[in-house]
């Protein structure tokens, strides 16, 4: 999968080289490129922001550098272009799966008070929010979305992990996990998990999923 990111803060994405995502890049499963919007500014001081028309606090990202960056990356509209913003549709596991079916994703990261609306109108296919809170920029939301999408790319997860039978697919939260040692700080691993009885283990886990979902996220049980 090819991913491109347009941002005023390209260093933020150095974090992608660590962990599972970094390994997927090394294996050639993900091709991630970061583009500095400032490089496309035609202003003599490479300015990329200006005061908002109509007044108000803060600065707005000017349209020219961002529009030029986007059209440099994707001159033939081969990418799904995503703008990360609290005004977007809320990211869900369903949307993550949908995005993972695309060959090319372009993430557009806003900063300050946002980008000039005309860039969104002209150049953006989809506006997505990772949740109802305000961050300083779209960089972390883009990384969150890329991380979630990457898990669906063939070969990114190890053979033991899988996106196939995940809790969100069944609309239930996960059951608790235990590993060695069998006793830790006086707390025991539930007996059934040591029994070797796979039917009983499956039953126990499903029961725990229902309990924890009813307690913490009853909305998930109300169905679609
Ligand atoms: N929440 N989900 C989010 C965000 C920061 C002003 C536009 C979010 O996706 N993005 O808080 N983004 C804002 C800051 C410019 C992006």
CA 60-141-66 angle, 5° bins: 35
Give the burial class of 12: count Cβ atoms within 10 A of its Cβ; 0-12 exposed, 13-18 middle, 19 or more buried. middle
Q: Is the pLDDT of residue 224 over 60?
A: no
Q: Whose CA is nearest to atom 2 of ligand 1?
A: 129
Tens of pLDDT, residues 156-211 = 998 888 887 787 778 999 999 999 999 999 999 999 999 999 999 999 999 999 99
**Residue 110 Cβ contacting ligand 1 at under 6 Å:** yes
**Residue 129 Cβ contacting ligand 1 at under 6 Å:** yes
> H/E element holding 121?
helix 117-123
**Residue 60 Cβ contacting ligand 1 at under 6 Å:** no
**Residue 114 Cβ contacting ligand 1 at under 6 Å:** yes
| Concatenated DSSP letters of 126-169 | EEEESSSS--SBSHHHHHHHHHHHHTTSTTSS-TT--STT-TTT
Distance 220 CA to ligand 1 centre (A): 26
**Residue 52 Cβ contacting ligand 1 at under 6 Å:** no
Q: Whose CA is nearest to atom 14 of ligand 1?
A: 137
Distance 21 CA to ligand 1 centre (A): 22
> Taking Cα atoms as reference points, which of 177, 178, 173, 148 lies closest to residue 163?
148
Q: What is the mean pLDDT of residues 52-59?
A: 98
Instruction: Assign 19 a pLDDT band (cuts: 50, 70, 90).
Output: confident
The secondary structure of 9-44, three-state, reads CHHHHHHHHCHHHHHHHHCCCCEEEEEEHHHHCCCC
Q: What is the widest separation between alpha-carbon atoms in the chain?
A: 72
pLDDT computed for residue 223 by the predictor: 65
Q: What is the mean pLDDT of residues 8-23?
A: 94
Give the global pTM. 0.96
**Residue 134 Cβ contacting ligand 1 at under 6 Å:** yes
Q: Is the pLDDT of residue 17 over 80?
A: yes
pLDDT computed for residue 158 by the predictor: 87
**Residue 22 Cβ contacting ligand 1 at under 6 Å:** no
Distance 104 CA to ligand 1 centre (A): 22
CA 18, 21, 25, 27 dihedral sign is positive
Tens of pLDDT, residues 122-144 = 999 999 999 999 999 999 999 99
Distance 154 CA to ligand 1 centre (A): 29
Mean pLDDT of the chain: 96
Distance 194 CA to ligand 1 centre (A): 46
**Residue 86 Cβ contacting ligand 1 at under 6 Å:** yes
CATH architecture of 2-150: 3-Layer(aba) Sandwich (3.40)
| Residue-range domain boundaries for the chain | 2-150, 166-221
Class of domain 166-221 (CATH, top level): mainly alpha
């Amino acid at each position: 999968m090819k991913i491109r990111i347009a941002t005023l803060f390209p260093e933020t994405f150095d974090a992608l080289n660590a962990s599972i995502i970094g390994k997927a890049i090394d294996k050639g499963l993900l091709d991630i490129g970061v583009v500095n919007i400032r490089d496309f500014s035609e202003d003599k001081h490479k300015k990329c922001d200006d005061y908002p028309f109509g007044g108000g606090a803060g600065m707005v990202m000017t349209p020219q550098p961002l529009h030029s960056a986007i059209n440099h990356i994707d001159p033939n509209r081969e990418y799904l272009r995503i703008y990360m913003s609290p005004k977007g549709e809320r990211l869900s596991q369903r949307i993550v799966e949908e995005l993972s079916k695309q060959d090319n994703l372009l993430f557009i990261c806003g900063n300050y008070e946002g980008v000039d609306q005309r860039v969104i109108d002209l150049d953006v296919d989809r506006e997505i929010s990772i949740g109802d809170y305000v961050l300083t920029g779209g960089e972390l939301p883009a990384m969150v979305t890329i991380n979630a999408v990457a898990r669906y790319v063939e070969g990114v997860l190890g053979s033991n992990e899988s996106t196939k039978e995940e809790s969100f697919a069944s609309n239930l939260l996960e059951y608790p996990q235990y590993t060695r040692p069998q006793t830790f700080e006086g707390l025991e691993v539930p007996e059934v998990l040591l029994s070797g009885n796979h039917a009983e283990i499956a039953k126990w886990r499903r029961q725990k999923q229902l309990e924890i979902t009813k307690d913490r996220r009853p909305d998930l049980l109300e169905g679609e």
